[in-house]
Amino acid sequence: MRICVFLGSSLGHQPIYAQAAQRLGTLIAERGIGLVYGGGAVGLMGLLADAASRAGGEVIGVIPEALRAREHDHDGLTHLHVVGTMHERKAMMADLSDGFVALPGGIGTFEELFEVWTWAQLGYHAKPCGLLNVGSFYDGLSGFIDNVVDEGFLKPEHRRMLVVEREPEAMLDKIVGYLAPRTDKWIDRDDL
């Protein structure tokens, strides 16, 4: 099994974010799970890869050529794929992975998570998608998503496709044991 982790190329302001990235990287390797991530050596990305590598895990990076100078190739990876575009990066990361987890990050992290979650909603895959809510970082987003359900723009079963946990151990347990909810279709035509 391989898990793709989306997270910031910066460290953020709270030390708990770095601690969570390091803990998740270590746990992934200790559990014999491969790590797929953005390939950089900076920020939370670098800490995650460092920890997984130190713990003896498989670490696969996928980085677009245009970002190599800014995110700096990580030199301790099992394999680094260099691709042409962000679209290629996301597609390759998804193809290489059996599940997805987002740690704190910026709009790139959000976009990556929302894309794979949308693919799950549309039935393109049945892989788990997780939001590691470290230090309550994602409380506002999680509440907003609940409001989207309340307002009728997201079905409750599709909301349940997004696993939300506060601790790396609990997140990995849920991701490894995930069973996709059964849904017939992503949109109910009777609602139109």
User: Which residue in 65, 63, 66, 64 sits closest to 46, CA to CA?
Assistant: 63
Asked, for residue 101, whether it belongs to a domain, the answer is yes
Q: What are phi and psi of 6, to 5 degrees?
A: -100, 135
Residue 7 lies in a domain: yes
Asked, for residue 189, whether it belongs to a domain, the answer is no
Q: How far apart are CA 130 and CA 25, in angstroms?
A: 15
The verdict on residue 187 lying in a domain is no
Read off the pTM: 0.92
- 83 lies in a domain? yes
- Is the residue at 24 inside a domain? yes
Q: Sort strands 162-165 and 79-83 into parallel, antiparallel or unpaired.
A: unpaired
Compute the distance between CA of residue 13 and CA of residue 10 in angstroms, rounded to an integer.
9
Per-residue pLDDT of the chain (192 residues; tens, 9 = 90+): 999 999 999 999 999 999 999 999 999 999 999 999 999 899 999 999 999 999 999 999 999 998 887 777 778 899 999 999 999 999 999 999 999 999 999 999 999 999 999 999 999 999 999 999 999 999 999 999 999 999 999 999 999 999 999 999 999 999 999 888 877 555 555 554
- CATH number, domain at 111? 3.40.50.450
Number of folded domains that form the chain: 1
Q: Which tokens go with 34?
A: 């491969």
79 within domain boundaries: yes
Domain of residue 160, residue span:
2-178
Query: Looking at the domain assignment, is residue 192 inside a domain?
Result: no
Instruction: Specify whether the CB–CB gap between 146 and 117 falls below 8 A.
Output: no
Structure tokens belonging to residue 144: 């907003």
Which tokens go with 90? Answer: 């996301």
